[in-house]
Amino acid sequence: DVKVTQSSRYLVKRTGEKVFLECVQDMDHENMFWYRQDPGLGLRLIYFSYDVKMKEKGDIPEGYSVSREKKERFSLILESASTNQTSMYLCASSSDGDSYEQYFGPGTRLTVT
Amino acid sequence: GEDVEQSLFLSVREGDSSVINCTYTDSSSTYLYWYKQEPGAGLQLLTYIFSNMDMKQDQRLTVLLNKKDKHLSLRIADTQTGDSAIYFCAERFTGGGNKLTFGTGTQLKVEL
């Protein structure tokens, strides 16, 4: 079974803190993605990566950065957390070709106070 | 740009059929997907359809694709309480690389 794990299920941080969200996949997938999920807005793509050390901006990259030093790990960084970054963060991975299906982690519920 | 729309809520009685609808704007979609999200969990792929197909059936699930109207639907037969979840449609369009565009999600509530 494909497994995508995220470092925390719930996280509470203060405004201005630096926040790291970690995602690890065990299927040797080339592509990894970070989304945020907000009620009524669905999933919005923050950043994605199609190879080690490669990254591409998604639809809402402002206030976020990412790091992919190893193929299996993709980190989302909030340099200075703000209250409007309170959200559910979902990580996903996929392989090239086939049906391009994305496999999701369980999500991290981040609250910024 | 591409856009995917869904109604936000659907309520059905147990045993009835549920039909969740989705409209998309990009005519170059290659794959269209249905994902399910149970409370407190990530998304799980239910099924997908390639754009040259009109219909796909998998046990209680039937996917219909109308390319002319850019309309995708998911029918769940004999809906059970365990089907209560948020359902997302998503598309992959030509030139989008490996990105998927997701709809807003439809909250399905199954009542006894």
CB contact (8 A) between residue B42 and residue A45: no
Q: Per-residue pLDDT for B18 more than 70?
A: yes
Q: Per-residue pLDDT for B26 more than 80?
A: no
pLDDT of residue B2: 62
pLDDT in tens, B83-99: 999 999 999 876 667 78
pLDDT in tens, A36-87: 999 888 899 999 999 999 999 999 999 999 999 999 999 999 999 999 999 9
Q: Tokens standing for B107?
A: 């909250």
Q: Per-residue pLDDT for B25 more than 80?
A: yes
Mean pLDDT, residues B43-49: 94
Q: Is A21 on the interface with B (CB under 8 A)?
A: no
Q: Per-residue pLDDT for A2 more than 70?
A: no
Q: Work out the mean pLDDT of chain B and round it to a whole number.
A: 91
Mean pLDDT, residues B72-82: 96
Three-state secondary structure of chain B: CCCEEECCEEEEECCCCEEEEEEECCCCEEEEEEEEECCCCCEEEEEEEECCCCEEEECCEEEEEECCCCEEEEEECCCCHHHCEEEEEEEEECCCCCCCEECCCEEEEEEC
- The confidence band for A100, taking pLDDT boundaries of 50, 70 and 90, is confident
Q: Which long-range contacts (CB under 8 A, 24 or more apart) does B68-72 make?
A: B69/B23, B70/B23, B70/B24, B70/B25, B70/B26, B70/B27, B71/B21, B71/B22, B71/B23, B72/B21, B72/B22, B72/B23, B72/B24, B72/B32, B72/B34
Q: Work out the mean pLDDT of chain A and round it to a whole number.
A: 94
Q: Is A101 on the interface with B (CB under 8 A)?
A: yes
pLDDT of residue B29: 74
Q: Tokens standing for A39?
A: 């009620």
Q: Is A43 on the interface with B (CB under 8 A)?
A: yes
Q: List B residues 5-64 in contact with A (Cβ-Cβ < 8 A).
A: 6, 8, 31, 33, 35, 40-45, 48
CA-to-CA separations, A113 to A17, A58, A61, B90, in angstroms, rounded: 10, 26, 21, 32
Distance CA A97, CA B67 (A): 22
pLDDT of residue A93: 94
The fraction of chain B above a pLDDT of 90, given in percent, is: 70
Distance CA A68, CA A74 (A): 5
The fraction of chain B above a pLDDT of 70, given in percent, is: 95
pLDDT of residue B96: 65
pLDDT of residue A101: 87
Identify the DSSP state of A104.
E
Run of H or E including A111: strand A108-112
Mean pLDDT, residues B51-63: 94
Count H helices and E strands in chain A, helices first.
0, 11
Mean pLDDT, residues A28-33: 93
> Of A43, A48, A100, which has the smallest distance from its Cβ to B102's Cβ?
A43
Contact B101, B5 (CB under 8 A): no
Q: Per-residue pLDDT for A28 more than 60?
A: yes
Contact B105, A42 (CB under 8 A): yes
